[in-house]
């Protein structure tokens, strides 16, 4: 096989194809692509006081803001509202858990949290199933007790006592004192009429700081230190309040308890021929090749891969009057008609579904879906989905109607005993296609310590940095590698898209490569590069290496000659001095330096600058 031979030839470069049972799919025809926007009916918990919770203890208070740092074991609250601050004392116990008045079954949960150094807390779905919140900054091999883990169940009579814990797929935790984001989609256990459990609780998805750390994970009972040892169809949300400090904000819940629509069998009519437009059925001269009835609409009912029209007629039973969102997915031409009204008529691509909002009254609604396809080289796809606020997404098409493509293995590079260097293009923020939206001279550096970064050679800037696994080169090295791009494998990704580390003192101009001349780089004994540049009559070097065993990056910029130049350590909308030499950039990361730095205004934002020194060293921490 051509692909296998290619892999064998590159073994010495430490490039790996994931094993068959770990193959990741880079794209597929289903809605897992994230190319559509789900409806959301999340209800924010009001945090003007603690009235949303049952009998809150003095452990919990409402504040207006919270600050922390990477090396402090406490959080500091400011006056105001909007943030929930938990500060357990020595005598804290399970009675200090914060429990919502609202009970839930199936749920979508979204919240921000902040932890100080060494802190331990947790979120209990239904008061029973814990998603761990923990200071896991820099942990390379996370356990179930680390941030984002599903905590163990516990039995004093078995060895070991803890069992069925689930560590996160990767450590996506940020440094202490930074706000982090958690999203959970959860399905409650199900019971029959006699109270017998017929389905276990399930974490459909847990996402930490934008990284999926669990998916379709079944849990067989309450985890350790839950409020309840039994299982029920509904329960409250609870926050652990007896271990360590924690701050919470933007807590939103969406109860997924609304009834689904029902769809009866569909009648279909199949035609062959070229259909360059969707025809009007009442005037169409083509004769059907086949008619029939099916349980669900499906592309499988169409013969061949092209030159056909298939028409489906059926009914949708809406449980109540509401706004329903229909998601349409096909290749080439299609039309959806509901109650005699055309709600969409047009051409689609499999990777760009169309969402249509349709208000429906309670009761039966007739629908017609027409789909025409003429190009044999395009996949045969027909998908129809529906959802409304407070309900699960439903597939109204049958199995195989939206087929998966052949899996594409992820081609990875992993540093071992020295730094790995890989070149590729990188898409600019907000883009994933188009040659005009790429950085063209990017060097990716993978360090054995587990912290990596991408460097723009044209602008002498760190574009992004991340921890964990190094890089996915599939878009550059698989088959023709048309995109020639690469993407980080680890998390969390710190997207800097920064600035050249030197600029004209007092300058308020946008970032530019004007006058900047790249002169190459020199490697140290383990492969860390020192980049060399010329600017404004001077020369400077840029040396980047891991900080504290991969917890961040340490950067040293040194200047020789040149005039009226200043070091630019960071840029952002808001730069806050937290303590001597420690700065918070837009709430996303820290800059730490022993140099005398100043926060200055620049282009409607701020920059952190240092002047009058032959060199400056600073750390990027997140």
Residue after which a domain boundary falls, among 449, 479, 495 = 495
Task: Indicate whether 292 and 346 sit together in one domain.
Answer: yes
The whole-model pTM stands at 0.90
Q: Are residues 447 and 336 in the same domain?
A: no
Residue 508: its pLDDT value, please?
A: 55
Q: Which residue has the higher pLDDT, 434 or 98?
A: 98
CA angle 420, 585, 567 (to 5 degrees): 70
Q: Is the pLDDT of residue 27 over 50?
A: no
Q: What is the pLDDT of residue 512?
A: 57
In a domain, 528, yes or no: yes
> What's the pLDDT at 404?
81
Per-residue pLDDT tens digits for 41-92: 688 999 999 999 999 999 999 999 999 999 999 999 999 999 999 999 988 9
d(CA 215, CA 169): 9
CA–CA distance, 509 with 601 (Å, rounded to integer):
11
Looking at the fold, whether 270 and 382 belong to one and the same domain comes out as yes
- Residue 486 sits in the same domain as residue 508: no
Same domain, 350 and 275: yes
Structural domain of residue 346, as residue ranges?
262-395
442, 457 Cβ separation under 8 angstroms: yes
CATH number at residue 362: 2.60.120.1560
pLDDT at 37 over 70: no
3-state secondary structure 522-556: EECCCCCEEEEEEECCEEEEEEEEEECCCCEEEEE
Give the end of a domain, one of 255, 274, 305.
255
Domain count for the chain:
4
pLDDT, tens digit (0-9, with 9 covering 90-100), for 136-187: 999 999 999 999 999 999 999 999 999 999 999 999 999 999 999 999 999 9
Within a domain: 26 = no
Judgement on whether residues 103 and 68 belong to the same structural domain of the protein: yes
In a domain, 35, yes or no: no
Is 473 found in the same domain as 361?
A: no
Looking at the structure, tell me whether residues 545 and 598 fall in a common domain: yes
Strand pairing report for 575-579 and 582-585: antiparallel
């Amino acid at each position: 096989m051509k692909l296998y031979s290619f892999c064998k030839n590159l073994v010495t470069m430490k490039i790996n194809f994931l094993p068959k049972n770990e193959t990741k799919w880079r794209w597929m025809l289903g809605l897992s692509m994230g190319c559509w926007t789900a409806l959301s009916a999340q209800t924010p918990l009001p945090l003007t006081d603690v009235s949303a919770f049952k009998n809150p203890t003095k452990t919990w208070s409402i504040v207006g803001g919270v600050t922390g740092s990477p090396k402090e074991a406490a959080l500091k609250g400011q006056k105001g509202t909007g943030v929930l601050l938990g500060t357990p004392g020595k005598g804290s116990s399970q009675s200090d858990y914060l429990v919502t008045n609202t009970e839930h079954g199936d749920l979508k949960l979204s919240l921000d949290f902040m932890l100080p150094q060494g802190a331990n807390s947790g979120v209990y779905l239904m008061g029973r199933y814990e998603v761990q919140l923990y200071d896991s900054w820099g942990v390379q091999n996370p356990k179930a007790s680390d941030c984002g883990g599903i905590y163990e169940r516990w039995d004093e009579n078995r060895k070991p006592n803890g069992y069925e814990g689930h560590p996160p797929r990767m450590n996506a935790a940020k440094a202490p004192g930074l706000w982090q984001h958690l999203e959970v989609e959860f399905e409650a256990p199900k019971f029959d009429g006699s109270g017998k459990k017929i389905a276990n609780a399930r974490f459909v998805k847990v996402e930490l700081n934008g990284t999926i750390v669990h998916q379709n994970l079944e849990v067989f009972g309450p985890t350790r230190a839950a409020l309840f040892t039994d299982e029920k169809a509904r329960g409250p949300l609870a926050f652990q309040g007896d271990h360590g400090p924690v701050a919470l904000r933007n807590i939103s819940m969406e109860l997924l308890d609304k009834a689904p629509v029902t769809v009866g069998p569909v009648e279909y009519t199949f035609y062959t021929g070229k259909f360059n437009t969707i025809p009007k059925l009442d005037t169409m001269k083509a004769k059907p090749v086949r008619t029939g009835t099916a349980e669900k609409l499906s592309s499988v009912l169409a013969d061949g891969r092209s030159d056909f029209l298939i028409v489906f007629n059926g009914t949708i039973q809406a449980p109540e009057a509401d706004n329903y969102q229909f998601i349409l997915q096909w290749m080439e031409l299609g039309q959806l008609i509901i109650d005699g009204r055309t709600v969409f008529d047009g051409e689609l691509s499999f990777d760009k579904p169309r969402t249509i909002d349709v208000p429906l009254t309670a009761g039966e609604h007739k629908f017609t879906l027409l789909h025409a396809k003429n190009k044999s080289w395009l996949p045969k796809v027909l998908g129809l989905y529906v959802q409304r606020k407070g309900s699960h997404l439903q597939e109204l098409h049958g199995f195989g109607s939206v087929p998966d493509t052949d899996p594409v293995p992820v081609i990875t590079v992993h540093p071992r005993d020295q730094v790995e260097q890989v070149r590729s293009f990188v898409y600019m923020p907000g883009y994933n296609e188009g040659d005009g939206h790429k950085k063209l001279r990017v060097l990716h550096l993978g360090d054995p310590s587990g912290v990596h970064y991408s460097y723009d050679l044209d602008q002498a800037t760190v574009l992004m940095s991340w921890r964990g696994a190094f890089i996915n080169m599939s878009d550059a090295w698989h088959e023709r590698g048309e995109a020639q791009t690469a993407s980080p494998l680890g998390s969390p990704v710190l997207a800097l898209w920064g600035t050249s580390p030197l600029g004209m003192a007092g300058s308020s101009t946008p970032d530019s490569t004007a006058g900047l001349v790249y002169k190459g780089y020199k490697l140290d004994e383990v492969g860390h590069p020192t980049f060399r540049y010329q600017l404004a009559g001077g020369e400077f070097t840029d040396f980047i290496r891991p900080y504290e065993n991969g917890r961040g990056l340490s950067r040293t910029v040194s200047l020789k000659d040149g005039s009226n130049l200043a070091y630019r350590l960071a840029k952002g909308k808001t730069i806050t001095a937290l303590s001597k030499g420690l700065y918070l950039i837009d709430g996303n990361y820290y800059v730490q330096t022993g140099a005398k730095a100043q926060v200055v205004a620049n282009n409607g934002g701020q920059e952190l600058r240092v002047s009058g020194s032959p060199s400056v060293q600073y750390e990027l921490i997140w």
